[in-house]
Every structure is written in structure tokens, then in C-alpha cells.
């Protein structure tokens, strides 16, 4: 996918926390004014936010509609959905939340597990409950599975990973009365066993992070940070940030080998 020239790929943006910073990790928390500004940038460039069905069709066919983007939110904190929903409605856009269904309506403390040089704080708060998630869906937004308990599937047994993927799907389908077809790996971590767990559970695709792949079981997403400039956000929105990021990593790897 990464050659001398960029090849367009559907941009998938990944948010974690939308709301007031408070005790949350400021590096992963987008405030309401910042999220509203991101939506303004999306609208100003004429982009349309896709549903999970539309995104899946694009990834499966490798035909990516121009000026389209999939907005995703991980974890499903109650404050995040209550904050995001009216802002999305005002902008005429939609988003998808990936929720750990075994934690619905409960207080959760999600340990940081992202790589890189920046240390992230644990993320704590109340996960949306069933009524809140139903209201989110009724407003036209999407839902996918983020496992049962937000466990890192690469650090548990195959049997445990299978349960995390299967039971999460069942609980969400029982609650919402609709089929849940898309999975998102907690912490974006996956390996062959995790990918097999998602396939065996009956999902059609699974979302991860970077680098970009052509596999439906490791679909790429780009993290949105609160301090993203308009220029950097635009690179993500147009899908070329994938290529630039992979090119930069390749240059660093080549330099290390010399």
C-alpha cells in the first residue's frame, strides 16, 4: 500500500474522550469546542461521514468514495456520547462508537496501552448504559464491539479472546435488536489469534490502528489529538497521513539499518 506516491485510502478517524479534561488524560481528551471545530473543518471541505456498512463496502471493494470519512469513538464513555451527539446533529454528521459491552453502565478504569514516547494516564469514568446507547443508535449513529471487558486480546488465552469477541457481540445484539458486524481491537492491539477470534465470532471486519493494511481484519485508523492543527487534521481527513506516517517510519528504519 505504501509506495513512492500516495495511494488513497478511506480515512478513519479515531477519538477516545470528548468532554472536559478534568481528571482524564489531556493528550486523549478532545474538548467540545475542539470537536465542534473538527466537524466544521469536515463540513468546510465537503466531506460526508459514512456508516459502518458504507465503510465496509469501500474497504471490501477497494473503491473509496471521495470526500468521505468514517468517524469512530472508542470506549463509549457516557460523557463522550452525551457531548458528541448534539454537536454531530448540529453539523449534520454521524459517528460510530465501539463499546466494551460487559462494562455498559459501569464505572471503568482503562489502563493506557498505546506505544510511543508519550505516557498516557489511565482513563476512568462511566461507560454509557443501555438506554444511552440505544438513544445514540436512534439518533442515526453506529455501534460496534470493543470486546467484552476492554481486554488486550494479545495478552490473554485464545479461549478468553474468543469469549471477549463472542459475548460482546451477543450482548450488544440482544440490547439493540440488530446485528453487530464490526469489531475494534482494544488498544488497537492484534495478532493472528486475536484476528481469528474476531473472525470466528462472526464479525465481517475488525478495526485497528496504524500502519495501514489491506486486511479486513486490521483496518487502519488514525488517532485524533486535541492539539492537531488544521493542516495536520486535513492530512488525516484526506487519507494521506497514513502514507506520510508509514514513509517516515520507513525512513527511520532505513537510517537505523545503515
Asked if omega into 211 is within 30° of 0 (cis), the reply is yes
**What value does the mean pLDDT of the chain take?**
88
Which residue, 51, 102, 107, 100, is CA-closest to 79? 107
Q: Is the pTM of this model over 0.85?
A: yes
Q: What cell does 153 get?
A: 486480546
Asked whether residue 251 carries a pLDDT value surpassing 80, the answer given is no
Q: Quote the pLDDT of residue 211.
A: 75
For 55-91, how does the pLDDT look when each residue is reduced to its tens digit (9 = 90+)?
A: 999 999 999 998 999 999 999 999 999 999 999 999 9
Q: Quote the pLDDT of residue 253.
A: 41
Q: Quote the pLDDT of residue 166.
A: 98
Domain 12-257 has CATH 3.20.20.370: yes
CA–CA separation, 206 and 134 (whole Å)? 22
Contact between 164 and 185 under an 8 Å Cβ cutoff? The reply is: no
Contacts of 142 (CB under 8 A, 6+ apart): 51, 52, 94, 95, 96, 97
For 139-173, how does the pLDDT look when each residue is reduced to its tens digit (9 = 90+)?
A: 999 999 999 999 999 999 999 999 999 999 999 99
Q: Quote the pLDDT of residue 4.
A: 41
Contact between 165 and 200 under an 8 Å Cβ cutoff? The reply is: yes
Asked whether residue 3 carries a pLDDT value surpassing 60, the answer given is no
Helix axes 32-44, 230-237, angle to 10 degrees: 60
Report how far apart, in Å, the C-alpha atoms of 234 and of each of 30, 35, 210, 245 are.
17, 14, 17, 14
Torsion of Cα atoms, 132 then 133 then 136 then 138, to 10°: -100
For 32-63, how does the pLDDT look when each residue is reduced to its tens digit (9 = 90+)?
A: 999 999 999 999 999 999 999 999 999 999 99
Domain boundaries, the chain: 12-257
Q: Quote the pLDDT of residue 26.
A: 80
Higher pLDDT, 17 or 241: 17
For 232-244, how does the pLDDT look when each residue is reduced to its tens digit (9 = 90+)?
A: 999 899 877 776 6
Mean pLDDT of all residues in 160-188: 98
Buried b / exposed e along 7-44 (16+ C-beta atoms within 10 A): eebbbbbbbbbbbeeeebbbbbbbbeebbbebbeebee
Q: Quote the pLDDT of residue 117.
A: 36
Mean pLDDT of all residues in 9-26: 85
The band of 252, judged by pLDDT with boundaries at 50, 70 and 90, is: very low
Report how far apart, in Å, the C-alpha atoms of 223 and of each of 30, 72, 174, 209 are.
11, 10, 30, 8
Give the single-character DSSP code of 19: S
Q: Quote the pLDDT of residue 115.
A: 44
Degrees to nearest 5, angle at CA 210 with 205 and 213: 55
Element containing residue 245 per DSSP (H, E):
helix 241-257
Q: Quote the pLDDT of residue 21.
A: 76
Mean pLDDT of all residues in 176-195: 97
User: Taking every pair of C-alpha atoms in the chain, what is the biggest distance, in angstroms?
Assistant: 57
Q: Quote the pLDDT of residue 195.
A: 97
Mean pLDDT of all residues in 122-136: 92
Asked whether residue 23 carries a pLDDT value surpassing 70, the answer given is no
Phi, psi (deg, nearest 5) at residue 126:
-90, 125
Which residue, 216, 161, 153, is CA-closest to 186? 153
Mean pLDDT of all residues in 211-232: 91
Amino acid at each position: 500500500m505504501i509506495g513512492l506516491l500516495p495511494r488513497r485510502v478511506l480515512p478513519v478517524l479515531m477519538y477516545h474522550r470528548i468532554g472536559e479534561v478534568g481528571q482524564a488524560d489531556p493528550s486523549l481528551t478532545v474538548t467540545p469546542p475542539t470537536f465542534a471545530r473538527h466537524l466544521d473543518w469536515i463540513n468546510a471541505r465537503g466531506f460526508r461521514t459514512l456508516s459502518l456498512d458504507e465503510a465496509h463496502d469501500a474497504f471490501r471493494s477497494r473503491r473509496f468514495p471521495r470526500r468521505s470519512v468514517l468517524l469512530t469513538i472508542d470506549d463509549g464513555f457516557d460523557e463522550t456520547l452525551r457531548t458528541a451527539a448534539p454537536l454531530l446533529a448540529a453539523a449534520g454528521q454521524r459517528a460510530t462508537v465501539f463499546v466494551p459491552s460487559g462494562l455498559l453502565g459501569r464505572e471503568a478504569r482503562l489502563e493506557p496501552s498505546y506505544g510511543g514516547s508519550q505516557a498516557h494516564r489511565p482513563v476512568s469514568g462511566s461507560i454509557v448504559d443501555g438506554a444511552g446507547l440505544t438513544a445514540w443508535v436512534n439518533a442515526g449513529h453506529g455501534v460496534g464491539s470493543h470486546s467484552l471487558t476492554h481486554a488486550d486480546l494479545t495478552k490473554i488465552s485464545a479461549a478468553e479472546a474468543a469469549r471477549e469477541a463472542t459475548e460482546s457481540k451477543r450482548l450488544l445484539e440482544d440490547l439493540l435488536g440488530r446485528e453487530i458486524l464490526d469489531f475494534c481491537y482494544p488498544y488497537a492491539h492484534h495478532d493472528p489469534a486475536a484476528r481469528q477470534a474476531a473472525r470466528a465470532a462472526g464479525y465481517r471486519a475488525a478495526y485497528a490502528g496504524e500502519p495501514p493494511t489491506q486486511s479486513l481484519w486490521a483496518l487502519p485508523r488514525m488517532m485524533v489529538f486535541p492539539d492537531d492543527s488544521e493542516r495536520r487534521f486535513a492530512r488525516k481527513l484526506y487519507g494521506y497521513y497514513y502514507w506520510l506516517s508509514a514513509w517516515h517510519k520507513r525512513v527511520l528504519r532505513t537510517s537505523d539499518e545503515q
